[in-house]
A and B are shown apart, each in its own frame.
Chain A
Amino acid sequence: MGKYIVRRLLQMIPVVILSTFLIYAMVFAMPGDPTAGKCGERPCPAAYIEKFNAKYHLDEPLPVQYGYYAKNVVQGDLGENQYGRPVAEELSERFTVTAKLAVMALIFEGVIGILAGVLAGLRKGGFIDNLVLISTLFVISVPIFVTGFAAQYFLGLKWEIFPALATGKDPSLFSLVLPAMVLGSTSLAYIARLMRSNIAENIKSDYVRTAKAKGLTPRRVVGVHTLRNSLIPVVTFMGYDFGALLGGAIVTEGIFGINGVGGYIFKGIQNRDGIAVVGAVTALVIVYLLMNLLVDLLYGALDPRISND
């Protein structure tokens, strides 16, 4: 296990370095003027361009530039937005809201997705199975911003079951319920489908038949022998899906006016604030990479076959 952790950590390092390099290259090494649009409609004055080039070391070769940038990121400096405020500081203020939203979405998609998947997988071809298959197909097909507006319009504005917006510095948990459901909806569908196929496959396996033959109660056969083994891929999926959740958070927080990291990126795009957008997205990518590492390590602990090879 120790060897496995070390190997995964070592594999992770080049991926983090090179993927952040890719992001950096996309922003600063593209043809064209990196200061375009930073001074409104007019081109920037020469003094500003000079200062900008010096600040981001744009006169140096690309790897050196990246070195400075990486040093800054490691030290928690993600640049300054249009208003001259450090992006990292603004993100740290908004992080708790997004974390709350993401955790609520994970709980929602996990609980309901697994439940629906188990019910569908136990009776493959039955009514619940077909219901789950068809409804998940629809949920997967509708893009998240459409789901978001539909939910906001019907549940928030028309029937007033949930608050339609969750603005403010510290929105209440109740006002985050609707955004969390929207955010988790696509993943919920995937989890339900994954769980369904795992259950349907595992229920036919030898160890489940043995458990039944031993005379164990159906509750134990399903709850312990089938469910536990079927859960492993679902846990992995939920970890890897975190990236989609972060991307979805940009849209969801934009729709519901939530002041989280996603809402920050959403506003940054609309105000054409390049540094703010790139800084915040870079932070999200790093969080995502760390999350993947965590899942890999967790997976190694859950399934001994992985860490032993």
Chain B
Amino acid sequence: MTDKTTAQGATPGGPGNDEADATTTRAAVVAEAADGTSRSLTADAFRSLRRNPFFWISSALIVIFMLMAVWPSLFTTYDLGFNDLSRSRETPSGAHWFGTDTQGADIYTRTVYGARASILVGVLATTGVLLLGSLLGLIAGYVGGWVDTLISRLGDIFFAIPLLLVGIIFLSSLQDTPTLLGIPIQGYFGVIFQVVLVFVLFGWPSLMRLMRSSVIQVKPNDYVQAARALGATPMRIIRRHVLPNAMAPAIVVATINLGAYIAAEATLSFLGIGLRPPTVSWGVMINDGLTPLRASPHILFFPALFLSIAVLAFIMLGDAVRDAFDPKSR
């Protein structure tokens, strides 16, 4: 990742004829001020990350949720399809840790299986937004001129519509459509594809703006000019100089957004236009728990708890990474 170029020790204030050294000069000065030894910003950031308990808590939670998404049966003893109508709406007990829902299904099992939809949407939407936003931001910032104007104005238009509102319009108008551009969009993966698509389509401008401003900041620097004079291709300049400088803020924002996407997906499912029963997802389960809320709040409580912890984990991780990479906050 980014530490490839920046982790090597740099000579502060050096002549900058080595490209990697030049990139790290500024970072190294920051690091050196701390304790006299030469360390790059990235290495320094990872050091402070390792000492942050929030980083470890959130990482552990994320690993657990990822495991749940990939291999839910690892955590559960009941089958997903198991239900016993004679034990409908039972409160938590030894046999059913989180109690049972209206159908007499084990809420713990369903909550564990529900992780998959949320994690899938979060990870896919974030990856898509990161790729599309970064690519367009790089192009806009690097090429400049009318290309920049075009991409930036396009971004303004997509940025102008609040995500939840556009999600509602998009999903409610695709509710009865079997395929989109030849891709089936109903069923479990179909609906997840719809949700991811609308998040990527309307989420890229924030990453594009971030990337664009980083590129514009880096481009006039001496080391970039030097690299260009030495005949480096645009690809190389972007890979070696621009990306290492711009990746950290982009990843921070993307991590925090991942939590926001999970919350938005659950909200859409809860409203009844995202995933629908019999699909298991936290939003759907919370929707199921609405009717019996007064008498059996536990049906709603546990999926809501898992959802909140998942969102919390990603926001906490993003916060920790930002604090580590932002020297101002120290």
Contact = CB atoms under 8 A, between A and B. Distances in A.
B162 interface: yes
B271 A251 contact: yes
Contact of B160 (A143, A246, A251, A292): A292
Given A137-B316, A272-B175, A285-B162, A15 B169 contact: no
Nearest to B287: A145
B143 interface: no
B180 interface: yes
Given A244-B162, A246-B162, A292-B160, A30 B308 contact: no
Nearest to A277: B172
A31 B169 contact: no
Interface string B154-198: 001110111111101110111111111100000000000000000
Interface stretch (A17-25, A71-79, A169-177): A17-25
Interface stretch (A32-40, A53-61, A114-122, A229-237): A32-40
Interface in B255-272: 259, 263, 266-267, 270-272
Contact of A254 (B166, B271, B312): B271
A69 interface: no
B165 A274 contact: no
Interface in A274-295: 274, 277-278, 281, 284-285, 288-289, 292
18 contacts: A14-B153, A19-B158, A22-B157, A23-B166, A138-B312, A145-B267, A145-B270, A149-B286, A149-B304, A150-B304, A153-B294, A269-B172, A269-B271, A272-B175, A274-B172, A285-B162, A285-B165, A289-B160
Chain A interface secondary structure, helix, strand, loop or mixed? Answer: helix
A216 B99 CA distance: 62
Contact of B174 (A19, A32, A243, A246): A32
B311 interface: yes
Contact of A251 (B161, B267, B307, B319): B267
B275 to A, nearest CB: 14
A142 B306 CA distance: 10
B29 to A, nearest CB: 20
Contact of A22 (B161, B175, B181, B294): B161
Given A146-B286, A146-B307, A269-B273, A250 B157 contact: no
Chain A contact-residue range equals 35 or more
Contacts of B312: 137-138, 141-142
Given A22-B161, A27-B169, A142 B311 contact: yes
B293 interface: yes
Contacts of B173: 26-27, 30, 34, 274, 278
Interface residues of B, number: 48
- Could you tell me the dominant secondary structure of chain B's interface residues? helix
Given A27-B169, A31-B179, A149-B293, 8 more contacts: A15-B157, A15-B160, A142-B312, A143-B307, A145-B286, A157-B294, A272-B175, A285-B160
B207 interface: no
A103 interface: no
Given A141-B259, A272-B175, A26 B168 contact: no
Q: Which 3 A-B pairs have the closest CB atoms?
A: A247-B164, A32-B177, A243-B162
Contacts of A66: none
Contacts of A157: 294
Contacts of B259: 141
Contacts of B10: none
Given A146-B286, A244-B162, A141 B315 contact: yes
A292 B307 CA distance: 31
Given A250-B164, A281-B168, A285-B162, A30 B177 contact: yes
A254 B168 CA distance: 14
Interface string B270-288: 1111000000000000100
Nearest to B259: A141
Interface string B131-163: 000000000000000000000010011101111
A144 interface: yes
A284 to B, nearest CB: 6
B300 A149 contact: yes
A250 B308 CA distance: 20
Interface in A130-152: 137-138, 140-146, 149-150
